Amino acid sequence: MGGAYVLQEFADTLDMKPKKTSVAVQGFGNVGMHIARILHEWGYKVIAVSDSKSGIYNPKGLNIKEVIAHKEKTGRLAKFKVPAALEDQITKENAGKIKAKLILEMANRPITPEADEILLDKHIFIVPDILANAGGVVVSYFEWVQNSQNYYWSEKVVLERLKTYMTDAVKELSRVCTDFKCDMRASLYINAVKKILEAEKLRGNLK
């Protein structure tokens, strides 16, 4: 859900309307299956999904609920094989063939550094895994807060607070990206270093 909120924020910025935006999801497990379902429910046209054993493609869009039901029943999607949900899936060998306008890294490090440069040269917008995957960490923090206070929020409240955290992070990093005229991955590192320096100053370790 956190990744979906991040994607929606960037899609709005890039004027990518759900009904006019095609989505391909590599990896149809615990992460890919659910983000495909969420985006489908939001009106995006999910045209392709794949897992480590198989894949399915329909340029007119897939009925994700039916795809999920088929996968749960048979364990397969279709007849062709695509490695999924692993690191180093987009490399210098295949990056030049990608025609996407935006890539959301829901897997850990799916793009190699060499491929990163090729995609940026092609003006493909990359949402790094550190940001896209942050939702899980944020909700884990919510769980810790609730447990420490012995108080529990409803799912609706958790999702509302998650959306606020994720959209605020996108806006903050976008400002850094603009200020330093860099890509989103670089802005993440810049922002992280800034936060560390600020924390060290508050601790009195730096002047």
Q: Evaluate whether residue 87 is within a structural domain.
A: yes
Whether residue 46 is contained in a domain is answered as yes
What average pLDDT does the segment 133-147 reach? 94
In this model, does residue 158 exceed pLDDT 50? yes
- The answer to whether residue 51 is domain-embedded is yes
Q: What is residue 78's predicted lDDT score, i.e. its pLDDT?
A: 61
198 in a structural domain: yes
What confidence score (pLDDT) does residue 77 get?
Answer: 75
- Tell me the average pLDDT of the chain: 91
- Residue 80 is predicted with a pLDDT of 43
Domain that includes residue 154, residue range: 2-202
Inter-residue contact 176 to 162 (CB < 8 Å) = no
Asked whether residue 171 is domain-assigned, the answer is yes
Residue 154 maps to a domain? yes
| Average pLDDT for 101-111 | 92
Rounded average pLDDT over 181-197: 95
Given a cut of 60, whether residue 200 has pLDDT beyond it is: yes
Determine the 3-state secondary structure of 80 from DSSP. coil
**% of residues, the chain, pLDDT over 90:** 81
Element (H, E) at 28: none
Q: What is the CATH number of the domain that holds 77?
A: 3.40.50.720
Task: Report pLDDT for 85.
Answer: 59
CB contact set of 206 (below 8 Å; sequence gap of 6+): 197, 200
Number of folded domains that form the chain: 1
Q: Which distant-in-sequence residues (6+ apart) come within 8 Å of 167 by Cβ?
A: 5, 6, 9
> pLDDT class for 66, splitting at 50, 70, 90?
very high
Residue 207 counted as domain residue: no
Long-range CB pairs of 61-65 (<8 Å, 24+ gap) are 61/22, 64/36, 64/37, 64/40, 65/37, 65/40
C-beta separation of 129 from 145 below 8 A = no
